[in-house]
Chain A
Amino acid sequence: MIHFDKVSKIYLDNSVALEDISFSIEPKEFVSIVGHSGAGKTTLLKMFLAEEKPSAGKVFYESTDIATLKRDQINNFRRKIGVVFQDFRLLPHKNVYENIAFAMEAAGRTDEEIEADVPHVLDLVDLGKKIWNFPNELSGGEKQRVSIARAIVNQPEVIIADEPTGNLDPLNTYDIVQILKKINDLGTTVILTTHNKGVIDSLKKRVLTMENGRIIRDDKEGKYVI
């Protein structure tokens, strides 16, 4: 489904962010990517989201080379992927309903679909009561749940969660990981990057370990070993 083929990324100042990375992710897999800050985890995700182009090698989504996508095709491609960020990145001047509706509007969904799906997806993340609140009225855990609701509302094929628990307390971390597991159980591929040893060890799923822009381990039911 997703295939990185000998991908390297070297920035203009000659710093190497990724070096000769190759791996594949199958549909419905739950893959965690671990590594110290600067190991290249975020750059890897940016390549997949077409935010950056590789200096060498190719990134494939099914049979499509992502770097060759044109602007409109990138928009369509991104609508198949849900993204959850460490800092939530909600739209501050839109309420919870509008934040989620925005992703649906961008995907060209009708008003009727939006009205039906937004409350439903908020119930899934247990935030039905906060539908009209603005992001500044929510706690960190609630914001992250809105972010997840936004990511899954278009029923994407892949969810990318870039350190989603980095700003959360242990209780909220546990909740968010459970939600991600549930999404994966329903058939969505999940790619998670994290620093949290507890999360990785409890998941018992595939773990890619990165160091200095390289993948140094790829364990089927891995643990956090750095």
Chain B
Amino acid sequence: MLWIKLKRVIRSGFFGFWRNGFVSLSSILVMLVTLFVIGTTIFSGAILKSTLAEIRDKVDINVYFVTTANENDILAMKSNLEKLPEVMPPVTYVSKEEALAAFKLRHQNDQFTLQSLDELGQNPLGATLNIKAKDPSQYESIAQFLDGQNAADGSSIIEKVNYYQNKDAIDRLTHIINSANRLAMLLTIFLIIISILITFNTLRLVIYMSRDEIAVMRLVGASAGYIRGPFFIAGAIYGFISAIIALILFYPITIWLGSTTADFFVGFNIFHYYTANFGQIFLIIVGSGIAIGSISSYLAVRKYLKV
């Protein structure tokens, strides 16, 4: 009997959807807006994440060693640094010779500088370690760690750590990144709540139009579940169709915006993101559509079941 009831509810839901053509169409359009907001939120979240990651990646600190520092001491410090949980491995080591070669390459057209270097007769540059933290807020503790580092014989081999020169910029950036993350999350929640409320109210209106019908169903002795079922199914169909339309529309839109976003957001191509993450986006959009449609309908019918 349960199977027969289920079959009847599903059939009735489909017929209700099909025969209320205009109402179904308008519900689908409203839900399309909601799912568009959710989709746009996914894309903007990805853009923000990628841009912030790109900015984070640009932040680093360099440790400059004295010219007399022993290479073994430096490499020991490098491996110590890589063991720190705050540090994102690998720590890049640039030897004195590599630093000199890079300097010469950079100034290959500046004969005066190259000549002065030759006159010195020795390499004036020290080795450097380039360190990236997993999070910009962790540079301070890495800098503190470096303060206590000495060579095996106890002498200080660090000439300077540029963190202290860049401290203000790094602090400001950390603050901006954290604020941007928080703001984006609040905005996302706000937009999603608003669009769900709009959908819920639209479906409430749709069901309000059916209130007499629901009352008659009650009076012929239909149970609450049997009355609710077809509305629940129709709501799920609205959600599913809106989701499919939204996913189809995202395709040309992301193609159109793809190159613009790639130029503007340091290599983030929204179309590549959409196609690479299609499975996940499909599940989120279709899942949200079906859930919002069916749950809204289910709740909206409740009010009229009290006959």
Contacts and interface: CB of A to CB of B under 8 A. Distances in A.
Interface of A: 49, 51, 71-72, 75-79, 83, 89-94, 98, 102-103, 105-108, 110-111, 150
Secondary structure of the B contact surface, majority rule: helix
B221 A78 contact: yes
Interface size classification for chain B:
20 to 34
Interface in B192-227: 212-213, 215-224, 226
Interface in B177-201: none
B217 A102 contact: yes
A110 B1 CA distance: 8
B307 A106 contact: no
27 contacts: A51-B219, A51-B307, A71-B224, A72-B223, A75-B221, A75-B223, A76-B221, A77-B221, A78-B219, A78-B220, A79-B220, A89-B212, A89-B219, A91-B213, A91-B216, A93-B16, A93-B213, A94-B15, A102-B222, A103-B220, A103-B221, A105-B8, A105-B226, A106-B221, A106-B222, A110-B4, A150-B220
B19 A102 contact: no
Interface in B9-40: 15-16, 19-20
Nearest to B222: A106
A93 B15 CA distance: 8
Contacts of A75: 221-223
A20 B16 CA distance: 44
B114 to A, nearest CB: 88
Contacts of B20: 93
B1 A108 contact: yes
B307 to A, nearest CB: 6
B7 to A, nearest CB: 9
Contacts of A83: 219-220
A93 B219 contact: no
Nearest to A108: B1
